[in-house]
């Protein structure tokens, strides 16, 4: 029995393995080289960072204990500080309503403003996103004309909301109104693209059935396509609402109001315990909206979305992509 073909195959396997090993080694060396020279390029000095660790630890301790004196008007007017202010506010529910009606800034009012910015931006962006998302699908608009809408959404997605708010300067300085515009614009790009992707996966059967009845193009899109994805569209809109709440906090730091503005002001005044209270409220607001949205989406699309638990929600707070409004289809 000739061993020629077997030896040739063995040599081929060994050669492939060596090529793979060399490629892996080159890749690792390339990553290490870029990291080394990149750190030098951005002047990242590990020695300087290490020498600042004691100051950093001292700085972090300055945030404790969080001071919730600004939680409501009741705690503000009566000088109730620390965690005691939380119990005092919860024990006096009328103070929460009073805080919302007052022009004075409190943590309760800042939290509501943040939630409203995210909600209003999502609502105002929904309809344009639906139009662009539907027209961007090849199922609705023939190739290559659908790329006019896809390209527009890609261009919008390429610019974060925190940049959009500065592009809206002609309408006024960064404020709650321009923040809503920025979030709505960002929603058109992100939500519209999710709608388009969802429409590309609809089943042909219902569409052909509608067409066989002599339905118009509009009726085919409405009853044959959108009816298949209506639950998915609602689920994605809730997901974008989560993202927009995070974006509203980021926009607050540049002057849009809400919790972001409160945290920045307290930081500028070196009131670190007040800053810590604002950060705690960010956790409460973001985590609450995520858990609520996740559970509703799990009911709408049980096969694709699992409801999010508390620990998973906490872990998700570390996702930097969501804070800048970047989304990916999960």
Helices (H) and strands (E) in the chain, counts: 17, 0
Q: What local confidence, expressed as pLDDT, does residue 222 receive? A: 83
Of 56, 149, 73, nearest in space to 110 by CA: 73
Q: What local confidence, expressed as pLDDT, does residue 330 receive? A: 45
Q: What's phi and psi for 288, nearest 5 deg? A: -65, -50
Q: What local confidence, expressed as pLDDT, does residue 73 receive? A: 87
Say if residues 182 and 168 touch (Cβ distance below 8 Å): yes
| DSSP state for residue 308 in the 8-state scheme | P
Cβ atoms within 10 Å of 257's Cβ, excluding its own: 22
Element (H, E) at 269: none
Element (H, E) at 24: helix 4-41
Element (H, E) at 66: none
Of 279, 160, 140, 282, nearest in space to 220 by CA: 140
DSSP notation for 111-137: HHHHHHHHHHHHHHHHHHHHHHHHHTS
Q: What local confidence, expressed as pLDDT, does residue 159 receive? A: 92
pTM check: above 0.85: no
User: In sequence order, which residues have a C-beta less than 8 Å from that of residue 71 and are 6 or more positions away?
Assistant: 85, 86, 89, 106, 107, 108, 277
Q: What local confidence, expressed as pLDDT, does residue 310 receive? A: 59
List the chain pLDDT tens, one digit each, 330 residues: 556 778 888 888 888 999 999 999 999 999 999 999 999 999 888 888 899 999 999 999 999 899 999 898 888 888 888 888 888 888 888 888 888 888 888 999 999 999 999 999 999 999 999 999 999 998 888 888 889 999 999 999 999 999 999 999 888 888 899 999 999 999 999 999 999 999 988 888 888 888 888 788 888 888 888 888 888 899 899 999 999 999 999 999 888 888 999 999 999 999 999 999 999 999 999 999 888 888 888 877 655 555 566 566 666 666 666 655 566 554
Token couple for 179 = 């923040």
Say if residues 279 and 263 touch (Cβ distance below 8 Å): yes
Rounded CA gap, 281 and 76, in Å?
16
């Amino acid at each position: 029995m000739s061993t020629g073909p077997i030896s040739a195959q063995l040599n081929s396997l060994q050669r492939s393995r060596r090529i793979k090993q060399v490629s892996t080694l080159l890749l690792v060396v390339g990553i290490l080289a870029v990291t080394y020279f990149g750190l030098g390029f951005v002047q990242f000095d590990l020695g300087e960072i290490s020498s600042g660790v004691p100051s950093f630890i001292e700085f972090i301790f300055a945030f404790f204990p969080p001071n919730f004196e600004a939680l409501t008007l009741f705690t503000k007017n009566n000088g109730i500080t620390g965690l005691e202010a939380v119990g005092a506010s919860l024990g006096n529910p009328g103070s929460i309503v009073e805080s919302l009606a007052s022009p004075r800034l409190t943590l309760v009012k800042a939290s509501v403003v943040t939630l409203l910015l995210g909600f209003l931006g999502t609502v105002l962006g929904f309809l344009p996103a639906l139009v662009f998302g539907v027209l961007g699908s090849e199922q609705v608009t023939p190739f290559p004309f659908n790329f006019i809408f896809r390209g527009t959404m890609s261009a919008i997605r390429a610019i974060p909301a925190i940049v959009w708010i500065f592009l809206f300067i002609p309408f006024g300085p960064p404020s709650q109104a321009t923040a809503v515009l920025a979030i709505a614009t960002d929603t058109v790009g992100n939500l519209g693209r999710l709608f388009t992707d969802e429409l590309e996966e609809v089943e042909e059967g219902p569409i052909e059935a509608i067409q066989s009845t002599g339905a118009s193009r509009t009726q085919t899109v409405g009853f044959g396509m959108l009816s298949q994805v209506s639950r998915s569209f609602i689920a994605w809109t809730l997901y974008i609402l989560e993202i927009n709440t995070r974006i509203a906090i980021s926009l607050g730091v540049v002057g849009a109001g809400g919790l972001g503005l409160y945290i920045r002001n307290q930081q500028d005044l070196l009131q670190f315990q007040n800053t810590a209270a604002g950060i705690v409220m960010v956790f409460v607001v973001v985590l609450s909206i995520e858990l609520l949205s996740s559970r509703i989406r799990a009911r709408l699309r049980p096969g694709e979305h699992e409801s999010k638990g508390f620990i998973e929600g906490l872990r998700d707070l570390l996702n930097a992509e969501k804070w800048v409004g970047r989304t990916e289809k999960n």
